Amino acid sequence: MIYLSKAHTHELSKILALLLVEQGSYSYIDKISQTSSKDLALYHIREALRDYHSLQSRGLSNEAAIGLARTIDFSKLEKEILEIKDLTDITQLRERTSLVTAEALAVAGRLIHKEGEQTTSKAS
């Protein structure tokens, strides 16, 4: 089994989480988690990054998401993408994409929870 450290997936997971929170759609998480080939995984990653850049241009609405977006290290993200490109077997690809998308769901849950807390405290 291949060892996958948090550094290998974390930046891409942040971006997927931000897309989920801001767009309210699981689309990219689902597409990436269900991919059957490296080419398709990279295609969906490219599309997710394109939508993320579009969101950034318009501005994020969720305060917790804005804070998370500031922590994205694009140099690490580039390395993560190259590591996915270099995977040689479908089992490794599925393991990596499952880890990335599971982490994205966890991060999105944390953001949604934080936003709920902020909304509750503002209403008080």
Query: What's the Cα-to-Cα distance from 62 to each of 48, 68, 102, 111, rounded to whole Å?
Result: 18, 10, 21, 8
Is this prediction's pTM over 0.75? yes
| Calpha distance 32→43 (Å, rounded) | 9
Q: Give the tokens for residue 12.
A: 């891409």
CB-based contacts of 83: which residues, under 8 Å, 6+ apart? Answer: 8, 96
Task: Note the pLDDT tens digit of each residue in 32-59.
Answer: 999 999 999 999 999 999 999 999 999 9
Q: Report the share of the chain in percent with pLDDT over 90.
A: 77
Q: Where are the domains of the chain?
A: 7-123
Question: Average pLDDT, stretch 106-114?
Answer: 90
